[in-house]
């Protein structure tokens, strides 16, 4: 399965979700490749902070991923691609490589409006590869806030499935990343439980 995390808007948590999805799949004994396709290289920098991540991380910010993905994926059960913002050509290549494109969105009106651009790219790619699936993922949701509750209503206009498994705004994500870890090191934490539910739901979309 090839998962791509993509949004033309920056700062929505693509890298965090990519790393945690790869880490959780690896914890489940899957052979996982994480492709850092963002020229900023945040996922690659994260992997360099630790001796063993449990999965392979490579940097590949090139618009030829769709041409090379079969060879890249041949030794793995799952591939996770961390995509860049504001790079339409590279985004198109990533989308064509993917089985499932996950569009992370923070619960704000600006994020909802910007998500339209990414959804349009996905729909364009589906004319060439109809099997590409797409879903929206609410990330960094702040509990018990009106915007956190109302974002789902706003997303209905995009006519794209929205995952039920939200990821909350939790300090543990930032703290674990600083040390080259993930929230999964604290298996009983709310953050770890959210990641597990999130990956479970992605798996049901296969």
> For 117-140, what is each residue's pLDDT tens digit?
899 999 999 999 999 999 999 988
Mean pLDDT of 32-54: 87
Residues 3-33: tens digit of each pLDDT? 999 998 888 889 999 999 999 999 999 999 9
Q: Do 142 and 107 meet the contact criterion of CB atoms below 8 Å apart? A: yes
CATH pick for 2-192 out of 2.60.40.10, 3.40.50.300, 3.20.20.70, 3.40.50.720: 3.40.50.300
Scored b (16 or more CB within 10 A) or e, 3-27 reads bbbbbbbeebbbbbbbbbbbbbbbb
Q: Do 33 and 77 meet the contact criterion of CB atoms below 8 Å apart? A: no
**pLDDT for position 144:** 61
**pLDDT for position 76:** 96
CA pair distance 27, 9, nearest whole angstrom: 30
pLDDT band at 145, cuts 50/70/90? low
Q: What percent of the chain has pLDDT over 90?
A: 54
User: Taking the CB of residue 124, how many other CB atoms lie within 10 A of it?
Assistant: 12
Residue 84 pLDDT exceeds 80: yes
Domain boundaries, the chain: 2-192
**pLDDT for position 15:** 93
The conformation of residue 160, written as its DSSP 8-state character, comes to -
Residue 149 pLDDT exceeds 70: no
Query: What is the average pLDDT value for the chain, to the nearest integer?
Result: 89
CA pair distance 34, 77, nearest whole angstrom: 11
């Amino acid at each position: 399965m090839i998962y791509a995390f993509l949004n033309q808007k920056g700062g929505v948590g693509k890298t965090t979700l990519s790393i945690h999805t790869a880490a959780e799949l690896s914890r489940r004994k899957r052979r996982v490749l994480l492709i850092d396709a963002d020229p900023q290289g945040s996922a690659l920098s994260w992997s360099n902070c630790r001796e063993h991540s449990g999965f392979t991380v490579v940097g590949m910010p090139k618009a030829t991923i769709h041409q090379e993905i079969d060879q890249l994926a041949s030794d793995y059960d799952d591939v996770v691609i961390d995509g860049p913002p504001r790079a339409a050509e590279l985004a198109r290549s990533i989308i064509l490589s993917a089985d499932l494109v996950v569009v992370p969105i923070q619960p704000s009106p600006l994020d909802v409006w910007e998500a339209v651009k990414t959804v349009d790219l996905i729909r364009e790619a589906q004319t060439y590869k109809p099997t590409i699936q797409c879903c929206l993922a609410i990330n960094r949701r702040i509990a018990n806030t009106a915007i956190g509750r109302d974002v789902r209503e706003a997303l209905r206009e995009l006519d794209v499935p929205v995952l039920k498994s939200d990821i909350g705004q939790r300090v543990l994500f930032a703290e674990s990343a600083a040390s080259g870890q993930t929230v999964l090191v604290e298996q009983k934490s709310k953050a770890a439980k959210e990641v597990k539910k999130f990956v479970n739901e992605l798996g049901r979309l296969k």
